[in-house]
Amino acid sequence: MRSVLIVEPVVHRDGRGFFLESYNAAMFARGGVDRPWVQDNHSRSNRDTVRGLHLQCRRQQAKLVRVTRGEVFDVAVDVRRGSPSFLEWTGCLLSEDNFRQLFIPRGFAHGFCVVSETAEVQYKCDEYYDGDDELAIAWNDPQIGIDWPIEEPLLSGRDRAAPTIAGCFEQLPTFSW
């Protein structure tokens, strides 16, 4: 999907360990990601945890996601009504070893599944969190059809009760050129 970006930073390794720039505003702007990040979030989750699919509908957020411990299968889904790529999803492994980051644009739902014993996920947001505006969508919605690497996840109560796309369609953001 064109608007979701997998970022692979340059990693400098030597006998002491490694160094990388996890964020450089000028470099990201040259790549088309010019965002005023306003909030950083950090979560720790256990194996088989699925968090998501989540998004804010009115105060939409772009996110830049990375893993600092462990490994997750990270997913972005275009849920903008009227978008040419509506309900298309992309997923990739993010880990402490591959250093990849995933840029998720506004209007996309985000979720991840922990595939290591534990994982710590950190992400930047370009809009503040608003719990009253957050929408959860069923992680296993067959209309989206994400190929998760798990069948029996650990879920929060809210994620377990999340509606399918059909059940929350009118709440979804609208695509605009």
* Domain coordinates in residue numbering, the chain: 5-171
Q: What is the predicted pLDDT for the residue at 176?
A: 84
Per-residue pLDDT of the chain (177 residues; tens, 9 = 90+): 679 999 999 999 999 999 999 999 998 988 888 889 999 999 999 999 999 999 999 999 999 999 999 999 999 999 999 999 999 999 999 999 999 999 999 999 999 999 999 999 999 999 999 999 999 999 999 999 999 999 899 999 999 999 999 999 999 999 987
Q: How much is the pLDDT for 1?
A: 62
CATH architecture for residues 5-171: Sandwich (2.60)
Q: What pTM did the predictor assign?
A: 0.94
Cα–Cα distance, 42 to 162 (Å, whole number): 22
DSSP E strand boundaries for the chain:
5-7, 12-14, 17-19, 39-46, 50-56, 63-69, 71-78, 89-95, 101-104, 108-114, 118-125, 134-136
The H or E element spanning position 29 is helix 25-30
pLDDT at 177: 76
Tokens found for residue 64: 């830049």
pLDDT of residue 2: 73
- The secondary structure element, H or E, covering residue 26 is helix 25-30
What's the pLDDT at 116? Answer: 98
Which residues are known catalytic residues? 54, 123
